[in-house]
Structure 1
Amino acid sequence: MSQSPVQEQPAKDPLAPNVEDLYLESYAFTTAAAIVGSVDRKIFVVLRDGRNVFGILRTFDQFANLVLQDTIERIYLDSEKKRFGETYRGVFMIRGENVVMMGELDIDREDDHLHEWQQIPFPEAEKELHSVQAQRIKDQKVKAKNLLAKGLIDDFSRSDLY
């Protein structure tokens, strides 16, 4: 009986790029898989109801449902007075259909703009946001009525308040 020779595997250079990594970077994802590069990085998400959340993306699924860790919810109020409120939310799960926009943050510069803004208590910011949104809904109802009188329809949705 002959024994087959054992072939030695070449030593792997730890600094050499992994073939799979190169393949993933060059592949243009058009699905939820496009956010695979953002896992374990700090991101921001704008939600349909107008909220902004910031946290570390831990996982996602094919529907773009997201799980964020160390999440902070921030409400920006009128850009003239430059006020904001924020609160810690911890682990936060976001249903994909509620995501309007998301992106990675530069952790060295993410809070630079807040130096010009005044922080107010979160419950106060939340209350003001709800009153602004209620007024917007009222205004949209009037607009929809006027458009309907002219034979047109309005595509405003109460859940889209961003």
Structure 2
Amino acid sequence: MSETDSNVEDLYLESYAFTTAAAIVGSVDRKIFVLLRDGRNLFGVLRTFDQFANLVLQDTIERIYLGSEGSDDLSKPERFGEAYRGVFMVRGENVVMMGEVDIDHEDEHLEVLSQIPFEVAEKELKSIHKQKMKFEKAKTKKLLSKGLINDFAKSDLY
């Protein structure tokens, strides 16, 4: 076997560590989770993407996770609401995080949560976001008075 033959293996896509939108290529036609800058959680089948990481999802479900009633702590969800969204296009700049979903275990965590109507969950989440915006606005004012800046954008609610 020549030295050239041993280098042929290095030409396959799987052997490269992509740091661009090309890293998504292995997730096409698989179920993925996408966290958006506005805090929405999307679950769907990735059908295609482009060089800007714009995504097209099929059979998309939007899911909202909430803490216990009256709590704005979203780190320990106790309730959830979900709505079918169908085909969904996501602009790449709005993606915070994405990853493949293990379809054998994707719903296990929902068994310990209570499902509520999506409209109720959406209304409660908007209230939580409104409180967060108010808090961040006050924080920004306080920091500005000391000559500092707050790196919070109102579209970043994840």
TM-score class, shorter-chain normalisation, is: 0.7 to 0.9
Aligned counterparts of 2:104 and 2:135: Cα–Cα separation in 1 = 40
Report the counterpart of residue 58 of structure 2 in structure 1.
69
Deviations 1:85-124 (A, max 9, x none): 0000000000000000000010000010000000000000
In structure 2, the gaps of 5 or more residues are 1-7, 68-73
Aligned with residue 36 of structure 1, among 14, 25, 37: 25
Mapping for residues 44-55 of structure 1, pairs under 5 Å? 44-55=33-44
Q: Verify: 1:118 aligned to 2:107, yes or no.
A: no
Aligned counterparts of 1:146 and 1:155: Cα–Cα separation in 2 = 13
Query: C-alpha displacement at 1:21, in angstroms?
Result: 10
Aligned with residue 128 of structure 1, among 124, 129, 136: 124
- TM-score (structure 2 length as normaliser): 0.87
Aligned counterparts of 2:9 and 2:40: Cα–Cα separation in 1 = 36
Query: C-alpha displacement at 1:150, in angstroms?
Result: 1.1
* 4+ residue runs over 2 A deviation: 19-22
- TM-score (structure 1 length as normaliser): 0.85
In structure 1, the gaps of 5 or more residues are 1-18
Deviations 1:55-84 (A, max 9, x none): 000000000000000000000012556011
Secondary structure at 2:51's aligned position in 1?
coil
Instruction: Give the aligned CA root-mean-square deviation in angstroms.
Output: 1.6
Aligned counterparts of 2:9 and 2:29: Cα–Cα separation in 1 = 18
Deviations 1:6-32 (A, max 9, x none): xxxxxxxxxxxxx79971000111110
Secondary structure at 2:12's aligned position in 1?
helix
Change (3 A) 1:129 1:30: same
Q: How many residues align?
A: 144
Q: Which has the larger radius of gyration?
A: 1
Report the counterpart of residue 92 of structure 1 in structure 2.
88
AA partner of residue 122 (structure 1):
F
Aligned with residue 102 of structure 1, among 91, 98, 122: 98
Aligned counterparts of 2:125 and 2:10: Cα–Cα separation in 1 = 43
Aligned counterparts of 2:80 and 2:10: Cα–Cα separation in 1 = 40
